[in-house]
Amino acid sequence: MSSWIARTSTVIVLRRHAVLLLLGFMTLLAALQIPRLQADFTPSDLFARVPEEEALAQRFRATFGNTDNVLLLVVQSEDLLSVSSLQYVHDLANAMQQQPFAARVTALTRLPLPAQSQPEAASATDPTPVTVAAWQAIAQPLHASASLFAQALGTTAPSAMPPPDALWRLARGEAIASVRPAVSGPQVTPDDVEHLRLAIERSGLLRGQLISDDLRTTLVAVQFSSEFDRAAEIEQAVRAAREVIDALQTPEGLSVSWAGLPYLRTALVERMRRDQSILMPGSIGVCILILLMAFRWLPGILLPLVAVGMTATQLVGGMAFAGEKFNILNNILPLLIIIIGISDSIHIISRYGEELRDGKEPAQAAADTLSTMAAACFMTSFTTALGFATLLVSHTALLQRFGLVAALGVMLAYIITVTFIPAALTFMKRPPNGSGAATEGRFEDMVEAITRNVMAHPGPSILVSTLLLGAAAWLSTGVRVDAAVLDQFHPSDDIWISTHLLEEDLAGFRPLEVYLTADSPDRFADPRVLAAMDELTQWAQQQEGVLQTGSFLDYLREARAMITNDFTPRARQQPFGSSDEITRYLAIFGDSPHSPIRSWLSPDQTQARLNLAIVDFGARRTIALANETQTRIQHIFRDLPGIDIHLTGDAYTSSLGLQSVIGDLASSLGLATVLIFLFMTLLFRNLKLGLVSIPPNVLPLVFTLASMALLDIPLNAATVIIFSISIGLAVDGTIHLLARLQEERRAGHTLENAMARSARGAGKAIALTCFSLMLGFSVMLLSAFVPVQRFGLLIGISMFSCLVATLLVLPALIRIAWRHE
């Protein structure tokens, strides 16, 4: 293989004009494809799909709409129940309902509530007189149930009974209550305000859900139509909603803030784009600084930048040509390729300086550099690509494609770097005397001295590293495996503040849905089923993290309160007496598609939902709550056949998907570790070298986990992918050091001298690549996203640990493994 590499290196240098022209032509073709690149930043694509849960969610959404995809506009005012404030809420809600993206708009002024109808005088010429039998069939059961109801409340029967006119109208089959919005016309009147005050005082459907207890915060909830479910459509809808708000005149002292999953996801996309405009130039600036400090030679700075620029252009152009869209994950690939691709350039230019110091001409020095470095750079690139490629074991298509494209990008960076830089170097003047590219300095002396000391006394290095590894492993057990939506924002962020306000004052934004399906329409008119739903509701309200509950049962109670004119909490909790009574109350709301009960009960009355509005307390606690809920459901509904109950909703399905993603990435990390070290053993043709290379590269991963535990950074889809990247990058220094060691041993040096010369020759490049990776990824600390900031921080910790382990731990392990030499 070495002879083939030597011949290829000579050809590349001799045919350098053709090589450079070909690379330039390929880059130009790729650049022409970039305008065709499309983007889709839908965050839910990152979660693994559970087919059964997806099918269930689709059935649920077909009936009740996407209850997760709700834009929440939080309106605050010191005097919310004033005509001007309510007029603004009413105008905002009406304007939103006219938008094409709005399937349903819920607001304080639009919420239909049951209200008592005014009694009418009986007509002597009524063509359908009520018979005594009909009266008795209706009035007697109602009188009996009302009497029992009154006794339970400790009152007299008449006060709990509907008025005689109401009984008479029920006997005739007429509704005795109506459902109408709080404000029926376009203008809010003082009478409407008083009506709302009374409704808020009496109704259990408003306070704590649509309006806060202090009456200063209310919601306008815009449920999106089913076709607005991808990031592009949601972003378009949020933009239109902004235009609506901008067009309205805001009363003095009133403010509007945004919340809900559509807004959070749109904010993610917007900030991602803003990040690109900051992080890309920042990473290039850091690379220039590193190259300047390393070489102080203009070609040594420009050529690596041109190489990674060509790589990024060809990669993005290739994605566009293949129809691969930019998404929430792979949008960082150009940044990764630029930071990772610089590493091989540093090693090549450093070795080129060594060859020049031996008195060789630039063309010969470039050819010899490529001949000696091609194999080692291939190994480092291949192992990095392998770390990415193991993401193919994931069950998430987004992660699979990310792993494949990233692996291809790393290998593309290798091909361009080892062809472009040696070919281009032959056209450059020699570095001047004193240039960092052509001289050695104090750093090399220091690295050599440290290596000789470690080789002479390996015991202390092994002992200290073992103790640190044990402590880090113990700390790692405290890492939380969790993810919450608000993990992506800092507590000082407006989004974080408004969302927490929503959770503190109202019903939050994360729904856990209990989806009930019945085998016949009369199941949800069965008092036993409603009693079971009520028991489940009362249990859920006592669970930590549950903010509110909701079901069609709440509306039936409102109807009964209106009819009986009893709004006390104790009266509301009384069970329903018969199926006929339930049917009557259901009939009050009618079968109009705009009926409020249709959000909770399907038109054919075979499907219902019970909503648990929960705190955004993370996937781990969400799954725990869901498991407890399922256990409780099985207990409560055990004697009620004909009812199937499942859990769904974004809080539940995304948590299940996250668990699968974490498992996939853990498997890919294990697979990457095994494959990388098997590959190294085979490539070096030495089992000992393969084995001693494992501890220095596992140690950085354990240290990174320990750092996450100390900094309380959870392990989730955004952080666990770091380890698949780190394992491929961490092994690069080990490969370069071991490859140089074998080269020095073949030259006849003793083990100590060979190790010292290897550290002196490759140590500077290893340190520079680690620092370039650390500083390159540190630019991510400028991101607007907490996960991206953590990504940069943890990669930096991993790379620093890798540098220390490679230069201090690896020589000690080699000395012990070959102690008889």
Same domain, 367 and 483: no
Task: Check residue 138 and give its pLDDT.
Answer: 42
Same domain, 738 and 683: yes
pLDDT at 147 over 60: no
* Tokens read off for 449: 């001295």
Task: Check residue 637 and give its pLDDT.
Answer: 92
pLDDT in tens, 4-32: 666 777 788 788 899 999 999 999 999 99
Percent of the chain with pLDDT over 90: 16
Tell me the sheet residues that pair with 522.
none
- Do residues 722 and 798 lie in contact, with contact meaning Cβ atoms separated by under 8 Å? yes
Same domain, 317 and 389: yes
Instruction: Answer yes or no: is 453 within a domain.
Output: yes
- Among residues 394, 424, 439, the one where a domain terminates is 439
Range of the domain at 364: 1-35+275-439
pLDDT at 591 over 70: no
135 pLDDT band (50/70/90 cuts)?
Answer: very low
pLDDT at 485 over 80: no
Instruction: Answer yes or no: is 703 within a domain.
Output: yes
pLDDT at 720 over 90: no
Q: What number of CA atoms fall less than 13 Å from residue 169's CA on the CB side?
A: 20
Same domain, 303 and 413: yes
Identify the three-state secondary structure at position 42.
Answer: coil
Q: Which residue has better confidence, 165 or 245?
A: 245
Q: Does pTM top 0.85 for this prediction?
A: no
Identify the three-state secondary structure at position 736.
Answer: helix
Separation of CA 284 from chain center? 27
Task: Check residue 539 and give its pLDDT.
Answer: 95
* Tokens read off for 652: 């539940």
Instruction: Answer yes or no: is 770 within a domain.
Output: yes
**Of the ranges 62-71, 465-474, 786-795, the best mean pLDDT one:** 465-474
Same domain, 400 and 491: no
In this predicted structure, which of 72-86, 163-177, 252-266 has the lowest mean pLDDT?
163-177
Residue ranges of E strands in 551-615: 607-614
Instruction: Answer yes or no: is 145 within a domain.
Output: no
Task: Check residue 556 and give its pLDDT.
Answer: 87
Distance CA 484, CA 718 (A): 11
Distance CA 602, CA 609 (A): 9
In this predicted structure, which of 22-26, 369-373, 586-590, 811-815 has the lowest mean pLDDT?
586-590
- Do residues 273 and 92 lie in contact, with contact meaning Cβ atoms separated by under 8 Å? no
Q: Which residue has better confidence, 791 or 122?
A: 791
Task: Check residue 393 and give its pLDDT.
Answer: 75
Task: Check residue 540 and give its pLDDT.
Answer: 93
Q: In what order do the strands lie in the sheet with 102-107?
A: 102-107, 217-224, 70-77, 254-259
pLDDT in tens, 768-803: 888 888 888 888 888 877 888 888 899 889 889 988
Task: Check residue 143 and give its pLDDT.
Answer: 41
- Do residues 196 and 81 lie in contact, with contact meaning Cβ atoms separated by under 8 Å? yes
Average pLDDT over residues 386-392: 81
pLDDT at 233 over 80: yes
- Which element (helix H / strand E) includes 489? none
Rg for the chain, CA atoms, rounded: 35
Instruction: Answer yes or no: is 783 within a domain.
Output: yes
Distance CA 540, CA 628 (A): 10
Q: How far is CA 232 from CA 252, 269, 614, in A?
A: 34, 9, 27
Residue ranges of E strands in 189-267: 217-224, 254-259
- How many CB atoms sit inside 10 A of residue 286's CB? 22
**Average pLDDT, whole number, for the chain?**
80
DSSP per-residue string spanning 346-392: HHHHHHHHHHHHTT--HHHHHHHHHHHHHHHHHHHHHHHHHHHHGGG
Same domain, 748 and 724: yes
In this predicted structure, which of 20-29, 518-527, 571-580, 636-645 has the lowest mean pLDDT?
571-580
**Within the chain, how many helices (H) and strands (E) appear?**
29, 10
Percent of the chain with pLDDT over 70: 85
Instruction: Answer yes or no: is 419 within a domain.
Output: yes
Same domain, 728 and 706: yes
Average pLDDT over residues 493-516: 82
662 pLDDT band (50/70/90 cuts)?
Answer: low
Average pLDDT over residues 649-665: 71
Q: Which residue has better confidence, 253 or 169?
A: 253
Task: Check residue 59 and give its pLDDT.
Answer: 84
Query: Locate tokens 């085998």: which residue?
Result: 519
Same domain, 788 and 803: yes
* Tokens read off for 688: 């000992």
Same domain, 801 and 705: yes
Identify the three-state secondary structure at position 238.
Answer: helix
Classify residue 493 as exposed, middle or buried by CB count within 10 Å of its CB (0-12, 13-18, 19+). middle
Same domain, 305 and 426: yes
In this predicted structure, which of 15-24, 267-276, 370-379 has the lowest mean pLDDT?
267-276
Domain count, the chain: 2
Task: Check residue 27 and give its pLDDT.
Answer: 95
CATH number at residue 10: 1.20.1640.10
Sign of the CA dihedral 718, 724, 725, 727?
Answer: positive
Q: What number of CA atoms fall less than 13 Å from residue 372's CA on the CB side?
A: 23
Same domain, 399 and 466: no
Closest Cα to residue 136, out of 167, 157, 177? Answer: 167
Instruction: Answer yes or no: is 606 within a domain.
Output: no
Average pLDDT over residues 399-425: 91
- Among residues 417, 439, 461, the one where a domain terminates is 439
Distance CA 25, CA 45 (A): 35
Average pLDDT over residues 84-95: 92
166 pLDDT band (50/70/90 cuts)?
Answer: very low
Instruction: Answer yes or no: is 416 within a domain.
Output: yes
Same domain, 364 and 291: yes
pLDDT at 468 over 60: yes
Could you give the residue ranges of the DSSP H alpha helices within 637-712? 650-684, 687-692, 694-711
In this predicted structure, which of 51-55, 254-258, 396-400, 784-788 has the lowest mean pLDDT?
51-55
Distance CA 534, CA 154 (A): 23
- Do residues 648 and 511 lie in contact, with contact meaning Cβ atoms separated by under 8 Å? no
- Do residues 531 and 78 lie in contact, with contact meaning Cβ atoms separated by under 8 Å? no
- Among residues 439, 455, 472, the one where a domain terminates is 439
